[in-house]
Amino acid sequence: MATKKEIQWVSVNPTYISFDSLGMTVEGVLIDKDTINLNSRDVIRYTLEVEGIKSSFLATAQLERLLHDQELGTLLRITYNGTRKGGAFGEYKDFTVEYAS
């Protein structure tokens, strides 16, 4: 008697990371960097592969500066440190970005 193989569906749509919890850390391989138009403004979107799932986030000015030189295929760890005062807009989200060497 043949056994029926259970099918497991995996989404190809990326999940979105909001970095809204203090200390939130995401580790994954950088697999894409592109520009999207959001509210008539170009914004950089990064995509990491996190445990086999594509996970995207929009770059703040600080994240863009920290990630600008990272090559696709780099293993990254991004930690949200909370909001800080300063910058042109008064408050900004602060991050620590590390890469595996």
Collect all residues with Cβ–Cβ distance below 8 Å to 99 and sequence separation of at least 6: 70, 74, 75, 76, 77
Question: Average pLDDT of the chain?
Answer: 92
Residue 1 lies in a domain: no
Residue 11 lies in a domain: no
CA-CA-CA-CA torsion for 79, 84, 87, 93, nearest 10 degrees?
30
| pTM, to two decimals | 0.82
Residue 9 lies in a domain: no
Range of the domain at 49: 16-99
Please count the structural domains in the chain. Answer: 1
Residue 42 lies in a domain: yes
**CATH no. for residue 84?**
2.40.50
SS3 64: helix
Whether the CA torsion 84, 87, 90, 95 is positive or negative: it is: negative
Residue-wise pLDDT for 21-40, tens only, equals 999 999 999 999 999 999 99
